[in-house]
């Protein structure tokens, strides 16, 4: 009977206590390969608080060097991110506090070991330790410096990718502009000129930046007009959509192709971007068109991607980042109506679709001051209504009337019961 991945991993971990440093490194290489192959249930069965405490004890008793521990733990954290696994156990372990202490100690040294400090910061963020402002004020500049390396070797680009992915683990945390703005814009400008970052590294740069946008609207001019987020994201989406093998059947979470994983990250980033953005920009129009293209490619192949696309479109119309006519011409209205006609529509998708239509209707209600604008508004309203009639809109609304109350309770956002009347009167 063959040994399972968790069993073999634990066997190797026990063997580390009796090895010298070089032998440990070889066994850790094998352990990292096992981590690459683990399913989420296997991963959860292995990486418990007890395991992290055991590694901590081995370090303290000098049965494992810190360098070798980092070699293992950084790879585990990196895989967690790439496979979208969540591991809550390290935060409760002694190892978590050890990393925090070491970061502060290394930072205070007159002659810092910068590579070692980068490793510590990456482990700290990858393993989702609770962060403080003091810790992040060390980690952010340190990792941005590591991510600013210009060499194009495969090894350097992997280091850059890891540093940027670790930075994304900060998530929503309000930082001062002087801690990141100069470095992050320089990384983006260099990428726009040389195109040397990996796809996931470039997505991670923007993910980190857009999370700062959530707190600081003064970044809008930089992100939208100077760094051209809409243009860059649209181009990346187009390339990724082209490279995905959409004919593959849906697979279990954590087994997606790298391109699909990056697409999902982009779409999640768009939700934050559209929530924060106030400028109407032609690049946003192109971005929405590409989101529609992603939806069409994923339809029938990847339900998670389709859900993220519809959610992005809903937030975009709700936050008014484009005109209603752009939603119409870009295919967003058609996309939502197509989704509503699917034979199996889950509650979340029903909610997203109806909220999209409610917000379109809000924006088309009332009258314009200019006669020409008023005629244009009526024409757009009529065109949308005609599309809805063609797609059996009235029948769809009638079908879903019974679940409106349920959707309201589940999603805490009122859906009006007279939604079917919104586009009747032009």
Q: Is residue 125 part of a domain?
A: no
Banded model confidence at residue 422, pLDDT cuts 50, 70, 90 = low
* pLDDT value for 412: 52
Query: What separation in angstroms does the CA of 424 have from each of 329, 347, 351?
Result: 21, 25, 21
What is the per-residue pLDDT across 232-251, written as a single tens digit (0 to 9) for each?
999 999 999 999 888 765 55
What is the per-residue pLDDT across 12-40, written as a single tens digit (0 to 9) for each?
999 998 899 999 999 999 999 999 999 88
Residue with tokens 């200019």: 370
Q: Is residue 351 part of a domain?
A: no
Q: Is residue 18 part of a domain?
A: yes
Q: Is residue 72 part of a domain?
A: yes
- Give 271-324 as a DSSP string: HHHHHH-----HHHHHHHHHHHHHHHHHTTT-HHHHHHHHHHHHHHHHTT-S-H
Q: d(Cα 292, Cα 349) in Å, to the nearest integer?
A: 15
Q: d(Cα 274, Cα 34) in Å, to the nearest integer?
A: 39
Q: Is residue 419 part of a domain?
A: no
Q: Is residue 164 part of a domain?
A: no
Banded model confidence at residue 206, pLDDT cuts 50, 70, 90 = very high
* pLDDT value for 421: 55
Classify 192 as helix, strand or coil. helix
Q: Is residue 71 part of a domain?
A: yes
Number of domains the chain is built from: 1
For the chain, the average pLDDT equals 85
pTM score = 0.87
Range of the domain at 85: 1-92
Q: Is residue 401 part of a domain?
A: no
Q: d(Cα 292, Cα 290) in Å, to the nearest integer?
A: 5
């Amino acid at each position: 009977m063959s040994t399972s991945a968790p069993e073999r991993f634990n066997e190797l971990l026990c063997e580390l206590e009796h090895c010298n440093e070089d032998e440990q490194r070889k066994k850790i290489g094998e352990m990292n390969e096992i981590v690459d192959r683990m399913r989420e249930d296997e991963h959860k069965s292995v990486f418990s608080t007890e395991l992290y405490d055991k590694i901590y004890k081995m370090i303290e008793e000098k049965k494992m060097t810190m360098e070798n521990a980092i070699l293992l733990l950084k790879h585990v954290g990196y895989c967690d991110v790439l496979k979208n696994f969540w591991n809550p156990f390290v935060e409760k372990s002694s190892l978590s506090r050890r990393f925090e202490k070491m970061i502060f100690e290394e930072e205070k040294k007159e002659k810092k070991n910068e590579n070692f400090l980068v490793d510590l910061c990456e482990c700290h963020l990858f393993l989702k330790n609770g962060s403080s402002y003091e810790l992040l004020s060390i980690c952010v500049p340190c990792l941005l410096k590591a991510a600013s390396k210009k060499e194009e070797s495969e090894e350097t680009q992997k280091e850059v990718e890891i540093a940027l992915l670790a930075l994304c683990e900060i998530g929503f945390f309000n930082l001062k502009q002087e801690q990141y703005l100069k470095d992050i814009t320089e990384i983006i400008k260099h990428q726009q000129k040389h195109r040397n970052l990996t796809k996931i590294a470039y997505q991670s740069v923007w993910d980190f930046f857009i999370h700062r946008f959530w707190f600081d609207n003064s970044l809008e001019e930089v992100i939208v007009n100077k760094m051209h987020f809409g243009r860059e994201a649209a181009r990346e989406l187009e390339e990724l959509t082209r490279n995905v093998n959409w004919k593959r059947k849906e697979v279990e979470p954590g087994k997606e192709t790298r391109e699909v994983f990056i697409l999902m990250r982009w779409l999640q980033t768009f939700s934050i971007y559209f929530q924060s953005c106030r400028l109407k920009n032609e690049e946003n129009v192109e971005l929405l068109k590409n989101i529609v293209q992603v939806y069409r490619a994923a339809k029938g192949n990847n339900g998670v991607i389709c859900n993220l696309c519809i959610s992005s479109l809903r937030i975009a119309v709700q936050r008014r980042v484009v005109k209603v006519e752009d939603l119409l011409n870009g295919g967003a209205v058609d996309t939502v109506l197509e989704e509503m006609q699917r034979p199996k529509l889950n509650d979340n998708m029903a909610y997203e679709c109806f909220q999209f239509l409610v917000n379109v209707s809000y924006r088309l209600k009332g009258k314009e001051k200019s006669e020409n604008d008023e005629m244009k508004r009526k024409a757009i309203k009529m065109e949308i209504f005609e599309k809805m009639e063609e797609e059996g809109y009235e029948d769809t609304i009638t079908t879903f009337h019974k679940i409106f109350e349920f959707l309201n309770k589940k999603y805490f956002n009122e859906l009006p019961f007279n939604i079917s009347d919104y586009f009747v009167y032009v």
